A and B are shown apart, each in its own frame.
Chain A
């Protein structure tokens, strides 16, 4: 099947056709009017996103535990199976109980059945609202992500702006959690977590701005479409393969790790082991909701990274467009999540002052320089031939030299040492 415009693979719009058919059927059956029909149309999209990403969240938790296990030379959880399943087929017992795949459901049941303890002096409304808000805003960021060629829930011109606005609103909920506990040290820990989140908002957004400069659009769907060409049909024009895009992607990765409080930036979470953290007063399902919001945030940021730098739903080679676009998107998303798990298994935690220093003194200047780099790239699209090589060379030098210089400055005084022996 050729990928020429006009003829697309059947599977690409099969789910959309299914949704349209369902809406038609229910409209006919229930005699729905225009407004209700529109609501039904969007409700189906929302339910599908919740279902798919809810399952994805469950998959991420179990994948994390099993991947970390393999990284540490051990098996991950492999004992929970589906109850009663092993009695199928005349009692044939599954040896590894389905590799522990129903572990997330077991965890969910455990979280649901725990007692919900609210401190007596806590601000009841805020205490209840904090986990709700954090999950709600994390989910709202999914609205503008293009999961496939025709799969974007809400098509907006200012999609990126909306994404970062909704993502930043979750930080308010962290502070609400710390405040409503009426515990001085919880509040201090919440403020520390908030400081980390705010410090890394800036590199996160700044690393995305060069893309906006180059594509002159804030709409995520247009950004993906702008990456939809191939050199010789096999080399994709994703932004990560350009110098400014690669640097932007790396800054984006580090900032995304910090924004979702994951190792190596999980000091607020770890410190809640040491002293009262901002989440100590939450138990049971509310704690599970915070946990879920963290993973949703991670997934949303990974999806944004895939969209902006890794070509979204575009296939890597021209002939591979047979495989539907949403599968490519999912594949790239899974790769990014696996990379985050890999980083978590390897790296140590940074202290809070080192964290903020990394952001303000290293990532922000680099992101600003990358901005200039992106602008230069946007202005020189007409250069071709030998000038193309010059364009690439200048772009690389503009970002690599400051990186090396600032990196050296950041790590003065820290170096592996050689040791002497007693005579």
Chain B
């Protein structure tokens, strides 16, 4: 009969209309900003720098300014300048730190490659998306101060990932500490065994070593 397809179509739309009043699957509007959707843990918006503690965000950055993320970033939106001096990191080792670390979020495409290539787990993806700005250059160019967020914040937004990173880092530091202890013990043992063959060794080697490493920042 001519019109039966049309009538079936009208029936489907009526079903959706009636369903929109009682069936949540048929009323999918989320009235933003009063209601918000849940953001999944893996959601990525823009990068941020992880600092170990919240009291000294600039001083406890995990970033050591290796510039790997700057090189790998496809649209080249990261700008890093290394510092001239070194600071001890969480394991006590002296590392460089970024004097300048800027991310141009108007260029960043949230691809997460910087996070993947960072060997120090120091740059991670944030989840902020309500970042409307009124000015392009000053407000969209995120500097080190705005990028640095504490590890507690990282745990808040990416709980499983942060737990895994923390576990790995503590394991690495423990392994490094063990290795340092073993190396120190071996060195002590070697030093204790050394004086027997010390006369054949050239004496100035430690002196030359001492002269070879003047502090870089003159």
Contact = CB atoms under 8 A, between A and B. Distances in A.
Contacts of A406: 2
Interface string B7-50: 00110111011001100001111010000000000000000000
The interface residues of chain B, by DSSP majority, are classed as: helix
B205 interface: no
B197 to A, nearest CB: 82
Given A67-B17, A347-B6, A73 B26 contact: yes
A248 to B, nearest CB: 16
B81 to A, nearest CB: 47
Which of B1, B13, B29 has the most chain A CB atoms inside 10 A of its CB? B13
Nearest to B11: A346
A75 B29 contact: yes
B26 A343 contact: no
A74 B10 contact: no
A410 B21 CA distance: 39
Contacts of B31: 75
A410 B31 CA distance: 46
B3 A407 contact: yes
A263 to B, nearest CB: 12
A130 B9 CA distance: 37
A411 interface: yes
Interface residues of A, number: 19
B1 A70 contact: no
A72 B17 CA distance: 7
B16 A73 contact: yes
B1 A342 contact: no
Contact of B2 (A71, A342, A345, A407): A407
Interface string A347-374: 1000000000000000000000000000
A345 B13 CA distance: 8
A422 interface: no
- Chain B contact patch, size range: 10 to 19
Contacts of B17: 67, 70-71, 342
Interface in A299-356: 342-343, 345-347
B6 A407 contact: no
A70 B20 contact: yes
Contacts of B2: 403-404, 406-408, 410-411
Contacts of B14: 342
A342 B28 contact: no
A345 B15 CA distance: 13
A72 B9 CA distance: 13
B100 to A, nearest CB: 44
A74 B27 contact: yes
Contacts of B26: 73
Contacts of B21: 70
Given A70-B27, A71-B13, 18 more contacts: A67-B17, A70-B17, A70-B21, A71-B20, A72-B16, A73-B16, A73-B20, A73-B27, A73-B29, A75-B29, A342-B10, A342-B17, A346-B6, A346-B9, A346-B10, A404-B2, A407-B2, A411-B2
11 contacts: A67-B17, A70-B27, A75-B29, A342-B10, A342-B13, A342-B14, A346-B6, A346-B13, A347-B9, A407-B2, A407-B3
Interface of A: 67, 70-75, 342-343, 345-347, 403-404, 406-408, 410-411
Complex A-B, nearest 10 residue pairs according to Cβ-Cβ distance, in ascending order: A407-B2, A346-B13, A70-B20, A75-B29, A74-B29, A71-B17, A346-B9, A73-B26, A70-B17, A71-B13
